[in-house]
Structure 1
Amino acid sequence: MFKDKSLWLDSIFATLFVFLLMFGVQQLFVSVDVLDPIGDAVGDVEVTDVVFSQLRTQDPVPEERVVLVNIGDLNRAGIAEQIRILNKYSPKVIGIDARFFKHKSPELDSSLAEAFSRVENMVIASKLEGYDSLTDGFGNVAMPIEPFLPHVKPGFANFIATAEDQDQFKVVRTFSPSDEVKGERHMALAVMMAHLYDSAKTERFLARGNDVEVVNFIGNALASNSYGNAKFPALDVEDVFNENFVPELIEGKIVLMGYMGSYLGDPSWDDKFFTPLNTQYAGRTNPDMFGVIVHANIIAMILNENYIDTMSDLAEIITAFILGWINIFFFILIYRNLGRWYDGLTKVIQLVEAILILVLMGVVFNTFDYKLNLGIGIAAVAFAGDSLEIYFGVVKNLFSAEGRKELFNINR
C-alpha cells in the first residue's frame, strides 16, 4: 500500500489543491460585507483569549513598580499640579498617556512646561501617523508642541488594534516596540518608560528584534473591575491632590498617568479597548481596559522579562501543509478502501482533530508562553475531506483523456 506511487502523488497534488482552494475562498470572503456582523461576533476571537480570560486571572502577582494615576477631566494646569505633587516623592520615571499636540492658552502651556522641567525622566505621548499598507510603515510622527520638547522624551502611544473607530470591535493584543520613520527610530511609550527605569532589561527585550510583540497581560488596575483582580496600584484625581498615599508608593517607581474615566470605576468608553482579559470573548460586549493600563501591562512584561514567543509565518505555513498532507494521505486510504464510510469518518476525524489542535494551542500557550499559530492548519484540516472529493471527482478527471471524453460526450 505505502509503495503505491499513485497514492503519494495524489496526496501531494490533492494537498496543493486544498491550499489553492483555501486561498480562493479567503480572497472571495474578504470582500463579502454581508459577513461583517459574524466577523464582529466571533471572527476576532483567538484561543489565547480563553487562556487569558479564564485561566490566568488569578496567576500573575501585582506589579507594584508601576503606579497608575488618573488624570480624569483635568486641563493642563490640573495635570501640571498633579505632576508637581507626584514629583515631590521622587519617582524614577513619570509618563503620561495624553496628547499635547496643539497649543492651548499661554498660561496652561507654560504651567505644564514648567512642571515637565522639574521631572528628571519625563515621557509623554507622540503618535505615528500616515500608515502606508504598501510599505508597512508610517510617514510622520505627531509630536508634543515645541515648549514641551526640551523637557520630555516622546514615545508613540499607538497600539496595533483591529479597528480605528472606537465604536467598532477594537481588540488590542499586540504592539510595536519601536518603529522607524524617515530614518529615525522611535520607541513606544511603554518601552521608553521601561528603558529609563531599567535599561538593561529593556535592551534585552529590544534585542529580540521583533517588529510586533504580543502583550503578556497580567490584569487590570481596579479591584472593583469585573475583568479580574487589581494588578497595578492606582490613584484617582483627588488622591493625588489630597496626597492620599504613602511616599513609598511613589518613590523610585514608574508613575504612569492617563485617562481612566472621570473617576476610577467610571464605565466610560473613551480611550478604552477590548483585551484578551475580557471575560466575554465572543460577541460584542463592553471594552475592558483603558489605554493607559495597556501601557502598564507592556511595562510589566518588560520588567518581568516574561515575554510571549510566537510561531513564525514560515513555520505556520509549513506546519499547515504537513497537517493538510497527513489528513489527505489517510483520507485517500479511506476513500479507496472504505468508500461507503468516507463522508462520516472524515467528518468525525476533522472535528476531533480540530478540537485537539485548539486544546494543544491553549495548553502550550498557558504552559510555555508560546503562541502556536495553527489557524491555517485547522483550515487545511477542515477543507481536506470535501476538497479531496472535488479533486478526485472533478480535477483529476479533467486531466485525464477518458474523463474529458465522458464529460463532453454526455449529451451525444
Structure 2
Amino acid sequence: MKLLKSILHKIKGKDFLLVMKEAFKCMVFSFMVLGVVMLIGLNLNFFSPFKNAFKDFSYLDLYYSDKLKEQNFDLNENIVLVNIDRLNRKEIADVLNDIQRQSPKVIGLDVIFKEEQDPIWDAFLTEKLSNDAFVFAYSFIDDKEISNAGTFNSVDGNKGYANFNFNASSAVVRNFQGIRSIGAQTYFSFPVMIAEHYIGKEWLIEKSRFLKKERPINYTGTRENFLILESKDILGIPEIPFIKDKIVMVGYLGNERTHLYDIEDKHFTPMNKKFVGKSPPDTFGLVIHANIVQMLLTNNYIQVVPNWFLLVITVILTFIGLAYFIYLNKRQLASYILRLNLVQLLFSVSFVWVSLLLFRNGILFKISSVIAVVVFSLGLIGYYKKLAHYFYKKYKWEGYFYHD
C-alpha cells in the first residue's frame, strides 16, 4: 500500500477512492479477457505453432550460457564417470570387475540389459553384478517398468528409475522427480538411490517428502567438467586411488574423440550452447544423472518461489499499474501512450533481470506469467474505458471515468 500511495499521492479525496474502484473493475475485466484468450488458445490448432515454438524456451537458459563460459565449476570430487561406449557384455563385465577391485562405495550402472543373449557371457556378467555396491537403472514407459532381465538383478532393492521427469510435452530436461508413487507403490529415481547408498538411509527418510515433488535441476557441469574414465583407463590397472570409497557411475558417453557428434542417449538441457533455434541434443543421460547426484550430495537445490506468492504479486502489480495509468488516462496527457509503452518495456526488462539475478543465487522466480498478465492488463485500459462509457450511457453506472 505504501507503493500505491506514493504513486497516487497527487490524487486526493473522492478521486482516490474512485481510482481504486475503477482499477479493481478494470483488473477483473482484464483477467476475464485473459481467461477467454487462454481458453481459445488451448482449443484452437491455429496457436499450436506458436505454442510449440516457445514451449521449450526459457530466458533462464541465458544464465547457463554465461556460466559455461566462466569455466569455474565447483564439482564434487566424489563422482567418477566410466564410459562403456560400444563394449559388449563380456567387456562390460571385465570393466565392472576391475572397478570393484578399486573398492568404490557405490557403483551406479546406467545400462539396461533387457534380454538374455549368450548364456556363458550372461552368466559371467551376472557374477560381476552381485556386489551390494551396485545401483541398477530401469525406465518407465507408459507406467510400464523396463528393467534388466531377471538373471541380472542379483541384488534386490538396489535399483532406481532413469526417467528424469514424467512431462512428455517437454523436450528439455530442466526438472527431475526423485520419488514417484503409482497407486500404493513407491519408486525411487536412479540418482536418489545412488545418493541414498552413499549418504545413508536416514538421508532418504529425511528428504522423501521434498523429493516427491518435481524439482528443477541445478546443473553444475557438462561432460567436459566431470572426471571420465574409458575402459582402457581401468582394465589391467592394479590401483586407481581416486576411485576408492567414491561414487562410480557407469554408462554410455560416446566415443572419447567423436562424442560431440553422437546423439545416442543425449538430451536437450539448459546447458545447450544454442538455446534459441534448432540444435542437436547436448548432454548424455549419464551426465544429467551425475548433475542430479551432485546436487543431492551437496544439498545445492534451486529454491522455487511458490505459486501463491506469484499470484499475490501479480494481483498487486496489476492493480498498482492500472490505478496509475487510469489516473493518467483521464488527464489526457499527450505522453500517455509513450509513458505506457515505456513502463511496459522497462517493467519487462527489469523483471527479467531480477529473475536472472535470483536464479544465479539459487532461487527460481517464474516471472513470465507475471509480466504477461501485467503488460496485457495495462494494454486493455482503453477497451475498458469504452466499456465503462457504454455502461454509463445505458445503465448510468458511474466511476472515475464517467460520473455526474
TM-score computed with the length of structure 1 as normaliser: 0.84
1:208 offset after TM fit, Å?
3.0
Partner of 2:279: 285
2:219 to 217, 220, 242: 217
Unaligned runs of 5+ in 1: 131-138, 223-229, 405-412
1:143 offset after TM fit, Å?
3.3
Partner of 1:18: 30
Contact 1:83-1:115 within 8 A present in 2 as well: yes
| Bigger mean CA offset, 347-356 vs 246-255 | 246-255
- Matched length: 381
| Bigger mean CA offset, 247-256 vs 383-392 | 383-392
1:147 to 151, 154, 170: 151
SS in 1 for 2:249: strand
Contact 1:91-1:254 within 8 A present in 2 as well: yes
Partner of 1:402: 394
1:14 offset after TM fit, Å?
1.4
Partner of 2:365: 372
Q: Are 2:164 and 1:159 aligned?
A: yes
Task: Let me know the Cα RMSD of the aligned residues.
Answer: 2.6
Q: Are 2:83 and 1:70 aligned?
A: yes
Change (3 A) 1:360 1:401: same
Contact 2:108-2:248 within 8 A present in 1 as well: yes
Change (3 A) 1:235 1:400: same
Partner of 1:6: 18
1:258 to 251, 259, 277: 251
Partner of 1:100: 113
1:207 offset after TM fit, Å?
4.7
Q: Are 2:125 and 1:112 aligned?
A: yes
Find the aligned partners of 2:220 and 2:73 in 1 and give their Cα distance: 6
2:327 to 333, 357, 370: 333
1:53 offset after TM fit, Å?
2.0
Change (3 A) 1:25 1:104: farther
Contact 2:178-2:211 within 8 A present in 1 as well: no
Partner of 1:227: none
Find the aligned partners of 2:221 and 2:257 in 1 and give their Cα distance: 16
Letter matched to residue 221 of structure 1: R
Letter matched to residue 127 of structure 2: E
Alpha-carbon displacement from aligned partner over 1:250-301 (angstroms, at most 9, x marks no partner) = 1111111111114454121111112122222111223221011000000001
Find the aligned partners of 1:107 and 1:17 in 2 and give their Cα distance: 73
Contact 2:137-2:160 within 8 A present in 1 as well: yes
TM-score computed with the length of structure 2 as normaliser: 0.86
Partner of 1:52: 64
Alpha-carbon displacement from aligned partner over 1:179-208 (angstroms, at most 9, x marks no partner) = 012312111100100110012555544353
1:161 offset after TM fit, Å?
7.2
SS in 1 for 2:213: coil
Q: Are 2:21 and 1:27 aligned?
A: no
Q: Are 2:356 and 1:362 aligned?
A: yes
| Bigger mean CA offset, 277-286 vs 289-298 | 277-286
Contact 1:113-1:151 within 8 A present in 2 as well: no
SS in 1 for 2:112: coil
| Bigger mean CA offset, 6-15 vs 26-35 | 26-35
| Bigger mean CA offset, 60-69 vs 3-12 | 3-12
What percent of counterpart residues are identical? 26
Unaligned runs of 5+ in 2: 1-10, 397-404
Alpha-carbon displacement from aligned partner over 1:129-180 (angstroms, at most 9, x marks no partner) = 32xxxxxxxx44333322223325110010237657xxxx821110001001
1:106 offset after TM fit, Å?
2.7
